[in-house]
Chain A
């Protein structure tokens, strides 16, 4: 048993996916062990730290892997593939959230105005972490995902381009734009300006 476990741990993600598609439970356990926390952290950062929602997203993603393992191309990197799936799930969630926001704005137009002023207050009062994620979530999805993949998941430019299926030049420009925007949003926390 131990020999088998060692063998599973030594296998690459792609080999594990091949075994998983044939119904190997241990391969699935290993894939889950490698990526569940990473994906949960990614969703937490991308979806304003809604824990229950992020757990549901992780569940849905692994359910897709179980039910449709053939969607994965074995010749491709599993890491970039699974994050591209996660990015698409985030996109869909943003769309749902924007619809809800529009609906709530239709019924309570004054509340959204107050929420903006509340947000500004919170930026001043809360710590850097909260303000950072708030600013990150305020950005549009394409800049946010590039920034998150680069700085949270440690993806290279090439991997980001492969994951999001865009060219590297676009990745670079989006990354610079996101960095400048966040830096400008969080300059209040810079000790130089507070002195």
Chain B
């Protein structure tokens, strides 16, 4: 259909067309002016048809050959190599180069971390140190506690001794007071001089300690130490203690 249309435009003028041909071309042109325009267009296009375009540069074909080799060229083991280092792509997009950079990066990080003195034995040593520290601390504490207990015992014994001295003295003073009061009472009696002598002797003598007191209480071996003779032997002394009005 199209070929026939072109033939009509090439070979004839608008006035030479019959009714059928005019009907056939009516979609394209309805009057002489439009017919002439289309006819001129087709004539001009014939000259353009002779115009041929050729690709002058071989660079396109060379690049395409490289791409073809990249996709299809490699065989066997070389296919992996071609995949890692394709010939056409830029160097930073080659998978092999990217993998190499990744390995270097990972290696650098590993090396830098190893240089940061993160030692695997460190936690063990630390735990050991903690244990040793605990042991040392326990030993120190034990020594300290022993030392403290010794000191405490010493201090407590000293304190006990001092405490024991104090009531004895108080007892002694109390007794002396009692005795003095007794003596005052006994002044009226005839045996005052003896009692005073005994009182002075007891005052001048060192105060008996708690031990001595306890010892005195327990054993009757050192009966000579007693300033005042036991009452059991001399019941008469009791008479001196109680004042009878």
A residues near B (Cβ < 8 Å) are: 22-23, 25, 28, 32, 36-37, 40-41, 44, 55, 58-59, 62-63, 66-67, 128-129, 132, 150-152, 156-157, 175-176, 179-180, 182-184, 186-187, 189-192
> B131 in the interface, Cβ–Cβ < 8 Å?
no
Of residues 34 through 81 on chain B, the ones whose CB sits less than 8 Å from some CB of chain A are 34, 36-38, 40-41, 44-45, 47-49, 51-55, 57, 60-61, 63-65, 67-69, 71-73
- The SS class assigned to the B binding surface is helix
Q: Which residues of B contact A129 (CB under 8 A)?
A: 47-48, 51
Is the beta-carbon distance between B48 and A132 smaller than 8 angstroms? Answer: yes
Which residue of the partner chain B has the closest CB to A36? Answer: B55
Using A23-B72, A150-B2 as known contacts, say yes or no to A180 and B38 having CB atoms under 8 A apart: yes
Q: Which residues of B contact A176 (CB under 8 A)?
A: 27-28
Which residue of the partner chain A has the closest CB to B40? Answer: A190
Q: Which residues of A contact B54 (CB under 8 A)?
A: 37, 40
- Some 22 contacts from A to B, beta carbons below 8 A apart, are A36-B61, A37-B53, A37-B54, A37-B55, A40-B54, A44-B53, A59-B60, A62-B64, A63-B67, A66-B68, A66-B71, A67-B71, A128-B47, A132-B44, A132-B45, A151-B49, A156-B2, A176-B28, A179-B28, A180-B34, A183-B37, A184-B37
> B166 in the interface, Cβ–Cβ < 8 Å?
no
Q: Considering only CB atoms and an 8 Å cut-off, how many residues of chain B contact the other chain? A: 33
Q: Which residues of A contact B55 (CB under 8 A)?
A: 36-37, 40, 55, 58
Is the beta-carbon distance between A59 and B63 smaller than 8 angstroms? Answer: yes
Q: Which residues of B contact A190 (CB under 8 A)?
A: 36-37, 40
Q: Which residues of B contact A132 (CB under 8 A)?
A: 44-45, 48
Q: Which residues of B contact A62 (CB under 8 A)?
A: 60, 64
Smallest beta-carbon distance A135→chain B, Å? 10
Smallest beta-carbon distance B55→chain A, Å? 5
Given A157-B1, A186-B37, 16 more A-B residue pairs with CB atoms under 8 Å apart are A32-B61, A36-B61, A37-B52, A40-B53, A40-B55, A59-B60, A62-B60, A63-B67, A150-B2, A151-B45, A179-B41, A180-B34, A186-B41, A187-B37, A189-B40, A192-B36
Complex: A190 Cα to B1 Cα, angstroms: 25
> B29 in the interface, Cβ–Cβ < 8 Å?
yes
Smallest beta-carbon distance A89→chain B, Å? 15
Is the beta-carbon distance between A63 and B64 smaller than 8 angstroms? Answer: yes
Using A36-B55, A40-B54 as known contacts, say yes or no to A186 and B64 having CB atoms under 8 A apart: no
Q: Which 7 residue pairs across A and B have the least CB separation, nearest first? A: A23-B72, A41-B53, A183-B37, A190-B40, A183-B41, A183-B38, A187-B37
Q: Which residues of B contact A157 (CB under 8 A)?
A: 1-2
Which residue of the partner chain A has the closest CB to B69? Answer: A25
Q: Which of B36, B64, B67 has the most CB of A within 10 A?
A: B64
Which residue of the partner chain A has the closest CB to B74? Answer: A23
Is the beta-carbon distance between B38 and A128 smaller than 8 angstroms? Answer: no
Using A37-B53, A132-B48, A179-B28 as known contacts, say yes or no to A25 and B41 having CB atoms under 8 A apart: no
Complex: A128 Cα to B50 Cα, angstroms: 14
Smallest beta-carbon distance A169→chain B, Å? 12
Smallest beta-carbon distance A149→chain B, Å? 12
Q: Which residues of A contact B2 (CB under 8 A)?
A: 150, 156-157, 175
